[in-house]
Amino acid sequence: MLDVRGLRKVYEGSGRRTEAVRDLTFTVEAGELVCLVGPSGCGKTTLLKCMSGLLAPTSGEVTLGGRKVDGPPPGMAFVFQEYGRSLFPWMRVGANVELPLKQKKGLGAARRKELVADALESVGLADAAGAYPWQLSGGMQQRVA
């Protein structure tokens, strides 16, 4: 049995604070099948990482078979979705999007900035230009890439 009680996870860094999971409580009985569905950035991967012991929750707890999960349980396997490798982790999102535009001759800084803003707006990430790729969900990283 998997038991999640009051799970909360907050990411903080570089002046950005994101509450990925808030006060989540549920139980999955042995033999049950559960699917996580939701939009990009809603906390699905964060929840899975907390349930698997790969990420410590900010508060709350996860137990598996009556034992607190504080690391990957024996016999558990993981398959990661990773788009961050397509982005430069030391560059903010806006700079990653702007990079190929710098190769186009005759495209000034003001126009590049406008194109970056338009591109991020079109994929629902207008407020993420100043974030680093590692501060975004996998789905958000995919849209930036």
Residue range(s) defining the domain that contains residue 134: 84-144
Both 62 and 89 in a single domain?
no
Report yes or no on 127 lying in a domain.
Answer: yes
pLDDT value at 17 more than 80: yes
**pLDDT of amino acid 83:** 66
The per-residue pLDDT for range 80-134, each reduced to its tens digit, is 666 667 899 899 999 999 998 988 888 899 999 999 999 999 999 999 999 999 8
**pLDDT of amino acid 81:** 64
Average pLDDT of the residues of the chain: 89
Query: What is the model's pTM?
Result: 0.61
**For 131, how many CA atoms within 13 A lie in the half-sphere containing its CB?**
20
Q: How far apart are CA 41 and CA 20, in angstroms?
A: 8
- Domain count for the chain, please give it: 2
The answer to whether 47 and 23 are in contact (CB under 8 A) is no
